[in-house]
């Protein structure tokens, strides 16, 4: 059975069991501060499990894109080394929200696997939760009784808490689970070793394929368990592992999920899969990581230096490094696989087709950049190895190896390999200590302690009234304390209804205050969205928790933010009209002070185009276009009506559309009632973010007034400095630049003449010491002149040891040049010499064996350095 059919069969099976088929959520999570990536199929349904909102259907099914590379669920180190772990994988799942429970899901799972997919019952084992005395949890005899009606009792195995009690995290919904494992070994292997002994033992042919989770508890902050109001079912089946079983192969990478990519890698690299272990691992890593990175970019997450973007960059660099080290690929090549992936999975996940060019270009640019980093790292490592050999050391210091990895991105494995090739080794313990220190520091910096919610009012759904009102009388539904090193102690408060907009869709959250009936005021410093709720952050709680409170949004901040958000829509419209329909929004940040807009475009936006874009937006502002809002549109109807949906966003069945003239977008943010309220729009910068992604930053309203006021002030100051109130300052500045360039040329000529005169005097001053012509001098020449002087003298004097000290204020430089015969005959090294002499000027340096320089901050030490140089001879 082909993989496409396997996926479709699963969805249709549960559709026939009255489940609603839903789309996969984006793999990159945008409105949940507890997660970077979707790592399980249930992530998009967390708010239903928590009871924060009601699902449209009590039964749903899907194939969810997942990524596991950090935190509790981290499979990265196993990926490629074994044949059944992946970074990005599909999780086939079915869910019940307070509807059916253990009996139905166990029966259906067995029916699908054995009757529909036709898996031999004698290949299957199931596990149930054995109980845990420390948690006062009994054995899951209910699941056991249902299973024994379907499978032999000796194939029902007990599982401990680690394997058979599933938890969302340190807090939240959880419960016992029942795993289904499959044994695909040969008859001979099965006869020799009982499959039951290999379950959950990391055997590559005895693997878990489906986990049935029975959510019935809520884990509290103190570790205790409380019963959930409703019992839920959450299942997840590994699509790639299921394909391995149904296609009768021994590895996920031998299925048609991966073989097209592997064949393409073979073609590009000239290496054949299945010949050597290390090359096979490299090919598997590249095939897997290409999928993870491509889906992430398609869902809106570009590689970067922090957060989720850092994780994606790390995954891609791991793939590049394997290709570089084991497949000999010194040029970008992974990007060429995007076409194959798009053809293979684009029907199931259309975003791969629509974003194909972006994915391809971003990966290509990242490859080229990291390969340059590898070259720089090799140069640094070569220098370290040379130092080790001169010192007689056989082990590279672990801190240096870690710095090479952490600062320069040079992989530890590559460092170890290169060292071993030269009979050297790396201080593994020192590396681990440095790594652990960094991880501990990072963990401490981001550690958050969260208490349980104190529930005052049991509201199922919180109402947002912020589109129409900026203040309201509300009740506190629940609150909790959150403590972190970064923000200190904060309180999260949820109201029964709120006019505050929670950060989402690129728009920052509202600020404002809460006022109790007694007059007690608490400032709301930020507003977030978390698991379907709007959460208000405060430094303290009101003295009176109960009763009614008046909450007020900061109207000025909201107005400025709304102006910037509406301007973002107009900017998007302008760029699609002026630059072309290929322009798509790839991210935005809307704040009260400014706006930032990332978009797809494969060249720098010219100054003329920026002016045209600005003029277009300001023309729409002058037209005073009124807001046309539809809060209850269907997604399909909105798209049919021409509304633009943003990539990487997941929309529900009911959407909100925002129109200003011909600008029509799906958007949940806040906006002005009329474009005239924006006053004016001004672009402040245009830059590159990544290959094919540009960024425009802009301001509106009061910020534009402040900008022009500051510009006018600066203009008047420039005129005053130039002392030309009636002339054009630009012409005066050009004249000054021309005069400056002319003076620089005169200075260069004078310095050259001075160096020429000095050359003869220095040659005449040479001292013969132990067969070496030693010259030392102190000068005020610039670095370029000193270098030219040194090489000119070196051409005319044999057996030369020349040192020049140059002072420029408190700063100092030392330049050492040696005749090449001295380097060879007397084993002299200018780099080592200048490093030692550099201590006198409180600095350091290095270079080649015949020419080197040092810089320092103590010009007074030059004389001591020159004297020390003579002593060396």
Sequence-ordered list of residues with C-beta below 8 angstroms from that of 824, at least 6 positions apart, any chain: none
Which of the given ranges, 37-51, 146-160, 366-380, 831-845, has the highest pLDDT on average? 146-160
> How confident is the model over 749-781, as pLDDT tens digits?
787 777 777 888 888 888 988 888 999 999 888
Cα 484 versus chain centre, distance: 21
Report angle CA 163, 165, 169 to the nearest 5 degrees: 105
Report the range of poorest mean pLDDT among 232-236, 313-317, 807-811: 807-811
State which H helix or E strand residue 2 sits in.
Answer: none
- The span from the CA of 192 to the CA of 188, in Å, is 6
Check residues 107 and 23 and name the one with the higher pLDDT. 107
Check residues 676 and 718 and name the one with the higher pLDDT. 676
Residue 153 confidence (pLDDT) above 80: yes
Check if the beta carbon of residue 113 is closer than 8 Å to that of residue 210.
yes
**Residue 110: pLDDT band with limits 50, 70, 90:** very high
Cα 793 versus chain centre, distance: 54
**What is the mean predicted confidence (pLDDT) over 407-414?**
79
pLDDT at 715: 86
Report the range of poorest mean pLDDT among 49-58, 389-398, 701-710, 766-775: 49-58
Residue 352 confidence (pLDDT) above 80: yes
- The span from the CA of 451 to the CA of 222, in Å, is 8
pLDDT at 34: 67
What the block records as the tokens of 603 is 């060249």
> How confident is the model over 776-803, as pLDDT tens digits?
999 888 888 888 888 999 898 999 999 9
pLDDT at 166: 92
Report the range of poorest mean pLDDT among 29-43, 402-416, 849-863: 29-43
Check if the beta carbon of residue 452 is closer than 8 Å to that of residue 480.
yes
**What is the mean predicted confidence (pLDDT) over 307-326?**
90
Q: Is 782 helix (H, G, I), strand (E, B) or coil?
A: coil
599 beta partners: 585, 694
As a 3-state breakdown, the chain gives helix, strand, coil percent values, each rounded to 5, of: 45, 25, 30
454-455 and 488-495: which strand pairing? unpaired
Residue 84 confidence (pLDDT) above 60: yes
> How confident is the model over 726-740, as pLDDT tens digits?
678 888 888 888 888
Burial annotation 617-630 (CB, 10 A radius, 16+ → b, else e) = bbebbeeebeeeeb
**What is the mean predicted confidence (pLDDT) over 440-460?**
79
In angstroms, what CA-CA distances link 698 with 385, 559, 678, 691?
A: 49, 16, 12, 21
pLDDT at 71: 47
pTM of the model: 0.75
Percent of the chain clearing pLDDT 90 (strictly above): 61
Check if the beta carbon of residue 375 is closer than 8 Å to that of residue 331.
no
Which position has the token pair 């109790």? Answer: 516
Q: Which has the closest alpha carbon to 415: 423, 404, 399, 407?
A: 404
Cα 742 versus chain centre, distance: 49
Check if the beta carbon of residue 647 is closer than 8 Å to that of residue 354.
yes
Sequence-ordered list of residues with C-beta below 8 angstroms from that of 149, at least 6 positions apart, any chain: none
Residue 553 confidence (pLDDT) above 90: yes
Residue 147 confidence (pLDDT) above 80: yes
- The span from the CA of 402 to the CA of 399, in Å, is 5
pLDDT at 446: 65
Residue 595 confidence (pLDDT) above 50: yes
> How confident is the model over 829-854, as pLDDT tens digits?
898 899 889 999 988 888 888 999 99
The per-residue pLDDT of the chain, averaged, comes to: 91
**What is the mean predicted confidence (pLDDT) over 68-90?**
76
Report angle CA 475, 535, 516 to the nearest 5 degrees: 35
Check if the beta carbon of residue 101 is closer than 8 Å to that of residue 233.
yes
Check if the beta carbon of residue 807 is closer than 8 Å to that of residue 835.
no
**What is the mean predicted confidence (pLDDT) over 584-594?**
92
pLDDT at 484: 86
**Residue 68: pLDDT band with limits 50, 70, 90:** confident
């Amino acid at each position: 059975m082909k993989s496409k059919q396997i996926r479709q069969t699963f969805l249709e099976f549960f559709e026939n069991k009255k489940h609603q088929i839903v789309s996969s959520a984006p793999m990159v999570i945008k409105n949940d501060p507890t997660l970077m990536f979707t790592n399980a199929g249930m992530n998009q349904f967390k708010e239903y499990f928590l009871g924060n909102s009601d699902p449209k259907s009590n039964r749903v099914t899907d194939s969810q894109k997942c990524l596991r590379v950090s935190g509790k669920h981290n499979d990265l180190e196993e990926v490629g080394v074994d044949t059944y772990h992946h970074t990005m994988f599909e999780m086939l799942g079915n869910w019940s929200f307070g509807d059916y429970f253990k009996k139905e899901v166990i029966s259906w799972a067995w029916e699908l696997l054995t009757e529909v997919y036709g898996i031999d019952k004698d290949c299957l084992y199931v596990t149930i939760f054995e109980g845990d005395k420390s948690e006062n949890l009994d054995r899951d005899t209910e699941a056991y009784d249902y299973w024994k009606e379907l499978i032999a009792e000796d194939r029902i195995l007990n599982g401990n808490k680690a394997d058979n009690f599933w938890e969302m995290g340190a807090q939240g919904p959880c419960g016992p689970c029942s795993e289904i494992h499959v044994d695909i070994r040969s008859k001979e292997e099965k006869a020799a070793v009982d499959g039951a002994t290999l379950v959950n033992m990391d055997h590559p042919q005895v693997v878990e394929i489906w986990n049935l989770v029975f959510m019935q508890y809520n884990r509290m902050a103190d570790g205790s368990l409380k019963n959930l109001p409703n019992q839920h079912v959450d299942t997840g089946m590994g699509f790639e592992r299921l394909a391995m079983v149904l296609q009768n192969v021994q590895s996920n990478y031998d299925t048609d999920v991966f073989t097209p990519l592997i064949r393409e890698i073979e073609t590009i690299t000239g290496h054949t899969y299945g010949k050597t272990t290390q090359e096979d691992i490299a090919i598997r890593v590249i095939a897997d990581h290409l999928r993870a990175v491509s889906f992430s970019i398609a869902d809106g997450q570009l590689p970067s230096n922090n957060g989720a973007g850092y994780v994606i960059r790390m995954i891609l660099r791991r793939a590049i490094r394997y290709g570089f080290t084991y497949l000999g690929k010194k040029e970008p090549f992974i990007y060429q696989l995007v076409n194959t992936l798009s053809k293979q999975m684009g029907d199931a996940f259309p975003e791969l087709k629509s974003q194909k060019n972006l994915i391809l270009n971003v990966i290509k640019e990242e490859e080229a950049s990291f390969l340059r980093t590898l070259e720089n790292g090799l140069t640094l490592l070569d220098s370290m190895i040379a130092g080790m050999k001169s010192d007689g050391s056989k082990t590279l210091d672990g801190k240096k190896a870690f710095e090479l990895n952490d600062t320069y991105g040079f992989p530890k494995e590559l460092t170890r390999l290169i060292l071993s090739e030269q009979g050297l080794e790396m201080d593994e313990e020192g590396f681990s200590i440095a790594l652990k220190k960094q991880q501990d520091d990072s963990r401490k910096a981001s550690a958050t302690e969260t208490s349980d919610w104190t529930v005052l009012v049991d509201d199922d759904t919180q109402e947002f009234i912020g589109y129409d009102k900026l203040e309201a009388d509300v009740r506190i539904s629940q609150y909790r304390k959150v403590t972190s090193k970064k923000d200190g102690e904060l309180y999260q408060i949820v109201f029964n209804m709120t006019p505050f907009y929670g950060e989402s869709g690129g728009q920052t959250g509202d600020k404002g205050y809460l006022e109790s009936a007694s007059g007690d005021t608490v400032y709301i410093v930020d507003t977030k969205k978390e698991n379907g709720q709007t959460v208000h952050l405060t430094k303290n709680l009101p003295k009176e928790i109960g009763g009614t409170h008046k909450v007020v949004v900061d109207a000025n901040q909201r107005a400025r933010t709304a102006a910037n958000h509406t301007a973002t829509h107009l900017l998007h419209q302008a760029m699609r009209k002026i630059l072309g329909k290929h322009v798509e929004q790839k991210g935005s940040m809307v704040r009260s002070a400014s706006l930032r807009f990332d978009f797809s475009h494969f060249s720098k936006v010219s100054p003329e185009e920026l002016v045209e874009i600005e003029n277009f937006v300001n023309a729409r502002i002058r037209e005073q276009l009124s807001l046309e809002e539809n809060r209850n549109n269907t997604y399909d109807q909105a798209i049919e009506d021409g509304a633009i949906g943003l990539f990487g966003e997941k929309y529900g069945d009911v959407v909100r559309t925002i129109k200003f003239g011909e600008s029509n977008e799906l958007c949940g943010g806040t906006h002005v009632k009329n474009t005239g309220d924006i006053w004016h729009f001004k672009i402040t910068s245009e830059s590159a973010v990544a290959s094919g992604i540009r960024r425009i930053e802009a301001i509106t309203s009061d910020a534009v007034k402040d900008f022009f006021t500051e510009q006018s002030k600066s203009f008047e100051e420039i005129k005053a400095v130039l002392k030309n109130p009636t002339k054009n300052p630009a012409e005066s500045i050009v004249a000054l630049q021309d005069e400056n360039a002319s003076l620089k040329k005169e200075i260069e000529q004078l310095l050259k003449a001075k160096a020429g005169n000095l050359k003869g005097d220095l040659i005449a001053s040479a001292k013969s010491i132990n067969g070496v012509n030693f010259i030392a001098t102190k000068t005020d020449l610039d670095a370029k002149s000193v270098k030219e002087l040194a090489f000119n003298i070196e051409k005319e004097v044999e057996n030369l040891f020349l040192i020049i000290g140059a002072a420029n204020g408190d700063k100092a430089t030392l330049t050492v040049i040696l005749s090449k015969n001295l380097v060879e005959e007397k084993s002299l090294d200018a780099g080592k010499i200048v490093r030692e002499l550099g201590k006198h000027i409180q600095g350091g340096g290095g270079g080649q064996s015949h020419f080197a320089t040092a810089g320092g901050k103590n010009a007074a030490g030059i004389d001591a350095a020159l004297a020390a140089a003579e002593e060396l001879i």
